[in-house]
Amino acid sequence: MTESSSRAMLRRFGQCADQFARCFNRQAQRDGASQSLDALFNDSERKSMQAKHGRLSDPGSYEALQHFITDSPWAAEPVWTRLRALVPVRRGMLALDDTSFPKQGTHSVGVKRQYCGALGKIANCQVAVSTILLADQLAWPLTFEWYLPQEWDTDAARRAKAGIPDQIYFREKWRMALAHIRRVLKAGFQLTAVLADADYGSNAAFRRGLERLGLRYGLAIRGALTMWVPRARRARTAAAIAAAIPNREWKRVSWGEGTNGALAARFAARRIRPAKSRGERWLLCERSLANDERKYYLLNLDATATLRALVTLVRGRWPIEQQYRELKDELGIDHFEGRSYCGWAHHTVLTAIAFTFLQVERRRSEGKPRPTLPTVRWWVREIMAVLYVVSNRKLLHLIASFQRNPPLRR
């Protein structure tokens, strides 16, 4: 990058931060927000509080930064509302996902032994429900909320210690997800489809909720989900239906390019009616090219939809996995070391702002090969590192100047 383009990027970053000033009531909070966003882009590999503070060009008080993130009484949801209003893309697919954070101990808000997607097994972790808009190969975080297990909800002592607000209580994840979708629709987004994993897709109440909202969906389901095929005398599982499909009907379909070449598998589809549901849907069955592993999806697209259209929809959620990896690797969404509900809520929304800024910068490259998010993050990090060095050089120069020419005593 040239000096002029670097300065222009810094100006845009400052303008981005200024867009959220109205979300904070006090000047100290506005200063804290600006400082926290700066810290997310510095060259510290860890994004813990101490690491971020130590690399700021204007560090100020560590206690002030810690208070702003952990204890300051500003609400995260108005910041999310403002962020949704500023997302430049207003139409796309909405991906639902559970984000898990492995944890030690029992004191971090919402932690328990439960399925941890980050580890692929049952483990001690926290889980958040989130939504991401997917459009033109870019992902935009729109909502993020901690899941509060039932045993936490009813434990007054743990709630008090973690600072969980009274309005936060246990809800099933599928209910949380529907509430998030309504929030996204209220913000004016046009959703072409909703994508979700099997925990959501296998839930009939969740699917009915999407249909009441008039939304199309492509949902992963479990192989044990029962459904009816035309002219069948009894319901069968998705796995059984897939097993009965002749080999000649399985077609190889590619949905994108990965680091090791084309992303592809074999697919077959059937019109079916899910148990306890009215009307026909699509059952899409997938077989891995490597080991014949099976996956299953339920879609409410028109009966005329092609196999490629079905595959393109359900496999459209793969960028979400890349996004979570970059949120962790580049911006440290999982590096927060506090235990309070407030601190986690603050940290995650500020991280989402930083991520959105990087996506906006990538989007500015339309018509050219887009830089990757890590590349743009590297640009900003280098600019911040230069500021850090320049700031410290100025400080050393001032100290040396003071020592050479101390002020006269009065």
Give the model confidence (pLDDT) of 176-209 as tens digits. 999 999 999 999 999 999 999 999 999 999 999 9
Q: How far apart are CA 258 and CA 264, in angstroms?
A: 10
- Radius of gyration for the chain, computed over Cα atoms and rounded to the nearest angstrom: 24
Distances 360 to 41, 275, 334 between C-alpha atoms, Å: 15, 43, 22
Reply yes or no on whether the pLDDT at 285 is more than 90.
Answer: yes
Q: Which helix (H) or strand (E) holds 35?
A: helix 27-40
Q: How far apart are CA 149 and CA 147, in angstroms?
A: 6
How much of the chain, in percent, has pLDDT values that exceed 90? 59
Q: How far apart are CA 252 and CA 157, in angstroms?
A: 55
Q: Which helix (H) or strand (E) holds 391?
A: helix 373-404
Q: What is the pTM of this model?
A: 0.87
Q: What is the dihedral of CA 29, 34, 37, 39, to 10 degrees?
A: -100
Quick count: other Cβ atoms within 10 Å of Cβ 166? Answer: 6
Mean pLDDT of all residues in 278-299: 95
Give the DSSP letter of residue 82. H
Residue pair 198/218 in contact by the 8 Å Cβ criterion: no
List all residues 6 or more positions away from 315 whose beta carbon is below 8 Å from its beta carbon.
255, 256, 263
Residue pair 333/343 in contact by the 8 Å Cβ criterion: no
Reply yes or no on whether the pLDDT at 410 is more than 50.
Answer: no
Residue tagged 């509302």 (tokens): 81
Mean pLDDT of all residues in 248-253: 97
Q: Strands (DSSP E) along 53-147, which ranges?
A: 91-102, 112-116, 121-135, 138-146
**pLDDT averaged over every residue in the chain:** 87
Q: Which of 55-59, 96-100, 320-324 has maximum average pLDDT?
A: 96-100
Mean pLDDT of all residues in 356-361: 93
Q: Name the pLDDT band for 237 (thresholds 50, 70, 90).
A: very high
What is the token pair recorded at 354? 């930083």
Reply yes or no on whether the pLDDT at 44 is more than 70.
Answer: no
Predicted local confidence at residue 272, as pLDDT: 96
Nearest to 126 by CA among 95, 96, 162: 162
Residue pair 122/138 in contact by the 8 Å Cβ criterion: no
Reply yes or no on whether the pLDDT at 401 is more than 80.
Answer: no
What is the token pair recorded at 303? 């009966």
Predicted local confidence at residue 57, as pLDDT: 47
Q: Which of 28-32, 264-268, 351-355 has maximum average pLDDT?
A: 264-268
Mean pLDDT of all residues in 227-244: 92
Q: What is the dihedral of CA 253, 256, 262, 266, to 10 degrees?
A: -20
Lowest mean pLDDT across 53-57, 183-187, 220-224: 53-57
What is the token pair recorded at 20? 């959220």
Q: Domain spanning 76-329: which superfamily? A: Transposase Inhibitor Protein From Tn5; Chain A, domain 1 (3.90.350.10)
What is the token pair recorded at 206? 């969740």
Predicted local confidence at residue 400, as pLDDT: 58
Predicted local confidence at residue 243, as pLDDT: 97
Predicted local confidence at residue 341, as pLDDT: 93
Q: How far apart are CA 53 and CA 69, in angstroms?
A: 12
Over residues 127-175, the pLDDT tens digits come to 999 999 999 888 999 999 999 999 999 999 999 999 999 999 999 999 9
Mean pLDDT of all residues in 201-229: 97
In terms of pLDDT, which residue wins out, 237 or 45? 237
Reply yes or no on whether the pLDDT at 54 is more than 90.
Answer: no
Reply yes or no on whether the pLDDT at 47 is more than 70.
Answer: no
List all residues 6 or more positions away from 217 whose beta carbon is below 8 Å from its beta carbon.
193, 194, 195, 196, 201, 207, 210, 298, 299, 300
In terms of pLDDT, which residue wins out, 385 or 391? 385
> In terms of C-beta density within 10 A (0-12 exposed, 13-18 middle, 19 or more buried), how is residue 10 classed?
middle
At 167, phi and psi to the nearest 5?
A: -80, -5
Strand-pair partners of 193: 93
At 173, phi and psi to the nearest 5?
A: -60, -35
Nearest to 146 by CA among 337, 327, 345: 345
Q: Is the dihedral of CA 289, 196, 97, 132 positive or negative?
A: positive
Predicted local confidence at residue 148, as pLDDT: 96
- Count CA atoms within 13 Å of residue 192 on its CB side: 15
Predicted local confidence at residue 53, as pLDDT: 46
Domain regions of the chain by residue span: 3-73+371-401, 76-329
What is the token pair recorded at 304? 């005329």
